[in-house]
Structure 1
Amino acid sequence: MAATKTRSRGGAKNARPASRTIDDLLADFGTTMPRKEAPAPTPPAEKLFPHTVKSSGVRRMGHGWSPTMPPLAGYQMTSEETPVLWPLISGDGLPPWGAEMGYDVLSGGKFYCDPMGWVLDDSIPVTNPNIFIFGKPGRGKSATVKAFMIRMIKFGYRSLVLGDVKDEYEDLANFLGVTPFRIGPGLPGRINPLDLGPLGADWEKQTAEEQEKRATVIFNRWLMLIRGLVASQGVVFSPTEERVINKVLRHLTGWSAGASRLKPVTIPLVWAALDSPTKDLVTDCRYESEQAFFNGTRPLRDALGALCEGSLQGMFDTESTFEPDWRKPIQTLSLRSLHETGNKVAVGIALMCLNSWGQGMREAASAGDRRIVLRDEAWLQTRLSLEAVEALDANLRLSRTEGDIQLVTYHKPSDPLSAGDQGSQAAQIAKDLLNLSDVRILMGQDESVADELGRLMGLSEMQQGVITNWAMQEKGRALWMVGDQRYKVQTLLTPLEKRLTYTNEAIDPGV
């Protein structure tokens, strides 16, 4: 009988032995496989809105259910009409080039400032690069100016401060490695407002046509300054005085005699020429005699004499001792010692002299020499006379052709109107100065000037509220007017800029 295979209950008789794991194999050699712990299970995230509600609401008492949606109101208008109903609405903003000043509060984007670039961009309503900045003291006006100067350095701009009345830009100049040039009673610094400037260089090498062109520019600049200086003393500068000064300047420089090189001229030399006139000068001025010349020019001589012997003696009456290094990032001329005398008229006259000197220094600037010209406390100059206002007006009008950014600071919009009596020609020209700047920075102001802001700047009630409410809550806030566009801007400063722009040392006991 054939044998039969039997199976045990536990399995087949010839069953394959159980397989060994990697752990078993490694255990034979006395080692183990490292294991990675399994991560703990993450609980499901809580939903912010666990339930959704249909647009028509929940059909239950008090749950806002509506069987139909209300129709939307529709309006059709142009982009020029939209800002009338929705002022300060966030638009596309300005191009991202120039100094990064802070951020646009309405759009949340960065805000850049480049006045010269704006002039070159036809899509931006800016035709001149001048900047007027208004702000109540303590609202961050000077900090905004300094931040703009610092951040424009990398774009090739250098700064010229024509009269730092309170030495607010001294720390900035020292940080940039420049020592401020100081002018004041008893100080050795001198500035000759009748400097020939770069136009007097290489005079003998120029053609007769070029010499005539340069002489016209130089004499016109000098004439404008002397007109303003004489008028600041309350003397009327009529066409007769203008003819006399023109003849004196041409006699002193040697231009009338055909000299190959113009001689230097100072205000005391002009005064001396009037006090001791030559026969040729008397004849050229069409006076019958020397005595007639004396009688006709007495007010003019007295006005110039007061400048040479008065509070400005020793500051603007000799050759300049300041030779600016235009390669430096900043040049600043300090008037603090004169300001501390309390003579605001003298400070205004000094600012006018510095402005004339600065204009002469920039008359032959190269195409790549970009400059920010700061005219701080300009109201001290414009309140002197009509001629002083006209001098500033001329400087602002030349900014586009000279390639400079003229930056003028005021406390409030009515400051320019302090020139002359209300309704006078001086007041009207000073008011028109605002039209020579398409970029205006309006920082925090008291509500008492709200109506004044609206009248002079053409601001709406909402825009006035931005200046008198929002901008007063924190330093550096301002309403920027770029052409017909409006921006709510918060200026941001780095820690270094905060230190360089701090102007409360005199009243802060912790400094």
Structure 2
Amino acid sequence: MSMLTRLFSSNSDDDLEPEEDALPDGAATAAHGHTAGEELSADGLPTGAVSSATPATLDSEAPSRRAGRAQSDVPALDVAARPSLSRATPARTRTRRRQGKRVAIPHGGKKEKQGTALRRPMRPSIRGWIGRGGGEAVNVTAADEFRGTTVQVCGLYPFSVGTGTPMIGVPLGKNLSTGASVCCDPISWFQRAQLISNPSMFVLGKPGLGKSSLTRRMAAGLAGYGTIPLVLGDLKPDYVDLIQALDGQVIPLGRGRGYLNILDPGEASEAAQRLRDEAARALERADELAHEVNAADPSEDTDERAAEVGKLRKHAAKVQRLAHQVLADAHGRRHTMIAALLTILRSQPPTDREETIIDRALKYLDEHHEGIPVLADLLRVIQEAPDEIRQVALDRGDIARYKAITEDLEASLIGLTTGGRLGEVFSQQTTTPMRRDRPVVYDVSSIDDSEGDLQAAILLACWSAGFGTVNVAAALADAKLEPRRHYFVILDELWRALRAGRGMVDRVDALTRLNRARGVGLAMISHTMSDLLALATAEDQMKAKGFVERSGMVICGGLPGAEMPLLTSAVPMSIAEQGMLTSWQDPPAWDAVSGHESEPPGRGRFLIKVGGRPGIPVRVELTAAEKDVNDTNKLWHATSRAGRAAAPLPTDPVNVEILP
């Protein structure tokens, strides 16, 4: 054992074992009071050293770094004084780590437990793992870069490297947090990605921030995927240019522009006839096969043909049920629309007896009227008082009682057939029937905002006609007479229809509740939650709130801070997400350089929420090809000029030439 080891081992409290090579040349321990650079004699004392009055120590809990003032448990070593020019004050020492130990070195230090190993870094550096066997690279090679044309490079999308946002759906723009591409639409997220429970979305945001642009982007992308967009009521118009660009059907409605007959079954009658014909063909084929099976030789195998007979008869029964369902659905839609118009006209729903009379009158028209009836035909049937209608009116055989019961109903129908607030648009045959194989938009922009009742009535009529067409397409696809078609239905300005009158929420709820079973993606658009909750009764308010709660996804633009309590009651949101939405509704700043207002901070920015998951902030980026169809300020492109008005027509009878 070396001299240094003996000195350290004499202290029972010290667990350090410095190695012999731990001290630099000329260094000694503080316990002997040696200083760096002194020469040691054979007994371990420096030449000419004197005894130290206060022996040094290496105890880690010494209050001072001076060895001469430290408290030590090592017994002092009295040595004979020897003449020397060196200082007798003990030098400070410190320790150095070596292979998990601490060894004494000059300038002092602290004690550490034996066996402490160096910790391996948790993550590799840019050159790889540090240490032996880690594969650290000397040089970091730059990534390969390739150049190609836009025709070739576009084939690389979608990129193979994953991101934090789903890459399934219509590309919308960039994630505001990560810069990654965001793809989203209710149909793709329901059908392919299976991220939402039903293919619907509710869009909220203040006016002018891009709600319609977001919906147009989804409609255009879904049209490329094979989904047919249906805009059931465009009040501004915001979707006419897009549907025209998609080679769709634009149906104008309004006074002097176009009419919509709410008693028109649309394509339901034709579809029902096709279904009945298909059922008849299936039964005929089944009878032929059954006759062949019965006439076949007993030794012949007829099991396959017998099974085919059973399949054909099941198919015929199914198709017959579909034909009945199509006609029943058309009857229900017509009944619902008449009741909705009466609700808007009266500001209250019709009575139970009146709805029963309307139902029986519609069935009477289907049986006895040739062609497509209009509201005037319905009024005439009620006034004629056939026995079928008098029975449900409960007139007790008294015609005077019947006229008293139907007086209010006749008055309302007269208002709908002879003009008034609502009658002109719905009193004639449909101008342009809707097709089920092309994108469609009902252009109702000619109706002024001051005519809220007429707007609500036309919106409901458009929704009824659109969903009726969807049901017809689904029935024909179930019968394998046409290919399966998926539709993306857009219900813009939803709040206008909800405020039209009591009972309107139930009508909208009945139209929108079964969108998943019908194979329809649904987009409902409104401004704020306050618009949905500004209804007369608490029951209607809860039903309107359910539109948001039942939606597969909720997309929010800029909203005021007062909306946050109402919004968070339906959609869970964090404090950061609420602050993001309120910051997006700030007005634009004034640009002193250009002299114009800059872009609003929330334009094109939306937060995609799916249940309680963290929202995805995205900025919608429009391409050059779609900027024209998204331009809603076309009337402001030309500068207004105060030119001279045209000369008035001459009023002098002498100078007026009357043509034959």
TM-score, normalised by the number of residues in structure 2: 0.58
| Matching residue of 2:378 | 270
Q: Which whole-Å deviations, capped at 9, do the CAs of 1:375-408 have from their partners, x for residues lacking one?
A: 1111111112343211211221121122111111
Q: Measure the CA separation in 2 of the matches of 1:176 and 1:123.
A: 28
Q: Which amino acid aligns with 1:197?
A: G
* Separation of aligned partners in 1, 2:582 and 2:244: 35
Measured in 2, the distance between the counterparts of 1:470 and 1:383 equals 27
Secondary structure (helix, strand or coil) at the match of 2:388 reads: helix
Amino acid at match of 2:452: K
- The question of whether the paired residues in 2 share the 8 Å contact of 1:162 and 1:375 is answered with yes
Match of 1:449 among 560, 563, 567: 563
Q: Answer yes or no: is 1:501 the counterpart of 2:572.
A: no
Q: How does 1:13-412 map to 2 (within 5 A)?
A: 93-120=164-191, 124=195, 126-178=196-248, 180-187=250-257, 189-201=258-270, 203=272, 206=276, 209-232=321-344, 233-254=346-367, 263-288=371-396, 289-308=398-417, 309-328=419-438, 330-339=439-448, 342-365=450-473, 366=477, 368-412=484-528
Structure 2 CA distance for partners of 1:150 and 1:357, relative to 1, 3 Å: same
Residue 168 to residue 263, structure 1, CA distance change in 2 (3 Å): same
Q: Offset at 1:445?
A: 1.9
Specify the code of the residue in structure 2 equivalent to 1:315: V
Distance 1:436 1:291, change over 3 A: farther
Instruction: Report the 3-state secondary structure (helix = DSSP H, G, I; strand = E; otherwise coil) of the residue aligned with 2:236.
Output: coil
Kept in 2: contact 1:96–1:111 (CA 8 A): yes
* Structure 1 range deviating more: 276-285 or 429-438: 276-285
Matches within 5 A, 1:403-442: 403-421=519-537, 423=538, 425-442=539-556
2:611 paired with 1:483: yes
Look up the SS of the partner of 1:102 in the other structure: strand
Contact 1:136–1:444 (CA<8 Å) still a contact in 2?
A: yes
Structure scoring higher RCO (CA < 8 A, sep ≥ 6) equals 1
Identity %: 24
User: C-alpha separation between the residues in 1 aligned to 2:471 and 2:411?
Assistant: 31
The alpha-carbon deviation at position 227 of structure 1 amounts to 2.0
How many residue pairs are counted as aligned between the two chains? Answer: 413
Cα pair 1:247 1:285 within 8 Å, conserved: no
Q: Is the 8 A contact 2:232 2:490 kept in 1?
A: yes
SS in 2 for 1:406: strand
**1:481, 1:193 → 2: CA distance?**
37
Deviations 1:18-68 (A, max 9, x none): xxxxxxxxxxxxxxxxxxxxxxxxxxxxxxxxxxxxxxxxxxxxxxxxx99
TM-score, normalised by the number of residues in structure 1: 0.74
Which whole-Å deviations, capped at 9, do the CAs of 1:323-349 have from their partners, x for residues lacking one? 334443x21111111236x21111111
Asked if 1 retains the 8 angstrom alpha-carbon contact of 2:560 and 2:585, the reply is no
C-alpha separation in 2, matches of 1:313 and 1:271:
13
Partner-residue secondary structure (3-state), 2:536: coil
Task: Report if aligned partners of 1:228, 1:385 keep a CA contact under 8 Å in 2.
Answer: no
CA distance in 2, matches of 1:502, 1:345: 28
Q: Is the 8 A contact 2:573 2:612 kept in 1?
A: no
**Cα distance 1:454–1:231, how it changes in 2: closer, same or farther (>3 A)?**
same
Off by >6 Å, runs of 4+ in structure 1? none
User: How far apart, in 2, do the equivalents of 1:388 and 1:412 lie?
Assistant: 18
Aligned match of 2:68: none
Give CA deviations for 1:253-305 in whole Å, capped at 9, x if unaligned.
11xx7x9xx85232332223223322332134332222212211222222333
- Alpha-carbon distance change, 346 to 400 in structure 1, aligned in 2, over 3 angstroms: same
Partner AA of 1:407 in structure 2: A
Question: Alignment partner of 2:446: what SS?
Answer: helix
Q: Which stretch has the larger CA shift, 143-152 or 309-318?
A: 309-318
Q: Which residue of 1 aligns with 2:42?
A: none
- How far apart are the structure 2 equivalents of 1:351 and 1:116? 23
Q: CA deviation at 1:94?
A: 4.5
CA distance in structure 1 between the partners assigned to 2:186 and 2:321 by the alignment: 35
Consecutive unaligned residues of structure 1, counting only runs of 5 or more, are 1-66, 69-90
Note the alpha carbon deviations across 1:178-233, whole angstroms, 9 max, x for none: 4622111122x222222213331154562665554333322222222222221222
Residue 506 of structure 1, CA deviation: 4.2
Q: Secondary structure at the match of 1:241?
A: helix
Q: 1:326 to 1:280 in 2, by over 3 A?
A: closer
Q: Is the 8 A contact 2:559 2:584 kept in 1?
A: no
Contact preservation (8 Å) 1:471, 1:478: no
Code of the residue aligned with 2:631 in structure 1: it is Y
Output the aligned Cα RMSD: 2.8
Larger Rg: 2
Q: Structure 2: 5+ residue runs without aligned partners?
A: 1-111, 117-161, 280-319, 478-482, 587-600, 641-660
> How far apart are 1:436 and its partner, in Å?
2.7
Q: What does the per-residue CA deviation read over 1:59-90, in whole Å, with 9 as the maximum and x for residues that have no partner?
A: xxxxxxxx99xxxxxxxxxxxxxxxxxxxxxx
Q: Could you list the per-position Cα deviations for residues 330-372 of structure 1 after superposition, in whole angstroms to 9, with x for gaps in the alignment?
A: 21111111236x2111111111111111111111213531211
Distance in 1 separating the partners of 2:523 and 2:201: 5
